[in-house]
Amino acid sequence: MKTYRIAAIPADGIGPEVIAAGLQAIETLAKRDGGFTLDVTQFDWGSDRYKRTGALMPEDGTEQLKKFDAIFFGAVGAPDVPDHVTLWGLRLPICQGFDQYANVRPTRILPGISSPLAGVGPGDLDWVIVRENSEGEYSGHGGRAHKGLPEEVGTEVAIFTRVGVTRIMRYAFKLAQSRPRKFLTVVTKSNAQRFGMVMWDEIAAEVSREFPDVRWDKMLVDAMTVRMVRDPKSLDTIVATNLHADILSDLAGALAGSLGVAPTANIDPERRYPSMFEPIHGSAFDITGKGIANPVATFWTAAQMLEHLGENAAADRLMRAVEKVCEDGTMTPDVGGTANTQQVTDAVCDAIRGSN
């Protein structure tokens, strides 16, 4: 029997609510399948720790996480702490410290959930967005001079490297190849941005030669938003820069029904370090403590985590259970239901136990 060491970092807002739901579902799966167990360690890192001690996580935080097989992350952000402090104090140091350069964001319309797009249902929108997660616009390269004076300057430099672009492109082509349609869309803004973005286009063409069975096309990011809304069926696997894919995947989540169902995985494809799995959404202050956070995004990312650990049968079983519960209409208010987090979680666990 395999035991997986999981670091749970629920952090802020609804993070603890959805991570508890996710762990309940995985534990039910482990019991149902009998082939693996979880050894979960909880970390109390986040904004409360920041307010107490001045840091969201300890100085040796990433060192402590190294021994785990995966990280299960809730959300970080508090109304009374600036967002750049929380993001750069916890989530980004883990993503960047562990070189989790592939951020993988599957989106599809689950049965029972309606898209805001008229006439678009399950099967019409089935995408995976691959976001470059280590450099680009979020390299953290920049600065401010003459602070507060009229001549103040702020720079935010996007860094694109051949190594960084080649490895994400290869990851995206490989992922596209593993999906039935074998089709990749490469997103840039290489009309207005003549250097880094033109290098993306060139490297895409180079890497494509390693994957002769994958069809691919190119889009400018602004036109891509139109295509996602008007012709969702024409897309399958998508690769874009850190900033572009950040924005496109929020749009994708909304088109699939709610941010509350959108998952993401921060992957180190070389498996040198633990990868991190989290819902796309943030702390959701407006619903924190009300018990109505949608746990589906967290279930879905738990399935991504199980797949990464090699437990594909358990991952499939979890997604089938989630789909059944959505189809039956046991859903939280953000997707039009009346159930609370615990009722959805219990229904998913029942479906896991009752599945064949």
**Quick one: tokens of 209?**
């030669």
Among 21, 197, 224, 293, binds ligand NAI (CB under 6 A): 293
Measured distance CA(326)–CA(58) in Å, rounded: 39
Asked if 158 interacts with ligand NAI (CB under 6 A), we say no
**Closest CB to ligand NAI among 128 and 297?**
297
> Residue 28's beta-bridge partner residues?
none
Read off the DSSP letter of residue 124.
S
User: Segment 76-115, which members bind ligand NAI (CB under 6 A)?
Assistant: 76-77, 83, 91
Among 284, 315, 325, 351, binds ligand NAI (CB under 6 A): 284
- The phi, psi pair for 214, rounded to 5°, reads -105, 125
Among 46, 61, 260, 263, binds ligand NAI (CB under 6 A): 260
Binding mask of the shown chain, residues 306 to 335, with x at each position contacting ligand NAI by CB under 6 A: --------------------------x-x-
Q: Where are the alpha helices (DSSP H) in the chain?
A: 15-33, 47-53, 61-65, 83-86, 92-97, 162-178, 196-208, 221-230, 242-255, 296-308, 312-328, 341-354
Residue 246 binding result from ligand NAI, Mg ion, none, given CB thresholds of 5 to 8 Å by partner type: Mg ion
Among 61, 263, 282, 337, binds ligand NAI (CB under 6 A): 282
User: Segment 217-246, which members bind ligand NAI (CB under 6 A)?
Assistant: none
> Residue 276's beta-bridge partner residues?
71, 266
Asked if 137 interacts with Mg ion (CB under 5 A), we say no
Contact (CB, 8 A) for 149 and 108: no
Among 108, 281, 317, 324, binds ligand NAI (CB under 6 A): 281
Query: Which residues of this chain interact with Mg ion, rule CB under 5 A?
Result: 246
